[in-house]
Structure 1
Amino acid sequence: MSQNESNLPMVGGIIAAIGAGVCCVGPLVLLLLGISGSWISNLSAFEPYRPVFILVVVLLLGYAGWKIYRPIEECEPDSACAIPVTRHRRKVTFWLTTASAIILITSNYWILWFV
Structure 2
Amino acid sequence: MTTPPDPAADRGARWGVAAAIGAAIAASACCTVPLLLVSLGVGGAWVSSLTAFEPYRPLFIAVAVGALGFVAWREWRVARLTGVDCDCEEDAVQPRTRRAILGVGVLAVVLLLASPWIVRAASGPPAPTVLTTDAPLATAQVVLAVEGMSCASCDVTVERALLNVDGVDAAEVSFEPPRAVVSFDPTRATVADLMAATTAAGYPTTPATDA
TM-score tier (shorter): 0.7 to 0.9
Task: Answer whether contact 1:72 1:82 (CA < 8 A) is retained.
Answer: no
Gaps of 5+ in 1: none
TM-score by length of 1: 0.78
CA distance in 2, matches of 1:95, 1:17: 15
Distance 1:97 1:6, change over 3 A: closer
CA distance in 2, matches of 1:39, 1:70: 43
- In structure 1, the residue matched to 2:74 is 67
Gaps of 5+ in 2: 1-6, 124-155, 157-211
By relative contact order (CA 8 Å, sep 6+), the higher-ranking structure is 1
CA distance in 2, matches of 1:83, 1:29: 43
TM-score by length of 2: 0.46
Structure 2 residue 13 is matched with structure 1 residue 6: yes
- Kindly indicate which of the two structures has a greater share of residues assigned to helix: 1
- In structure 1, the residue matched to 2:87 is 83
RMSD between aligned alpha carbons? Answer: 2.7
How big is each residue's C-alpha offset from its partner over 1:39-95, in whole Å with a ceiling of 9 and x where there is no partner? 53332100000000011111110011112233634149xxxx742971111111111
- Kindly indicate which of the two structures has a greater share of residues assigned to strand: 2
Task: Answer whether contact 2:23 2:61 (CA < 8 A) is retained.
Answer: yes
Q: 1:99 aligns with which of 107, 115, 125?
A: 107
More deviation, 94-103/24-33:
24-33
More deviation, 28-37/86-95:
28-37
Distance 1:7 1:38, change over 3 A: closer
Distance 1:65 1:73, change over 3 A: closer
Matched positions, count:
112
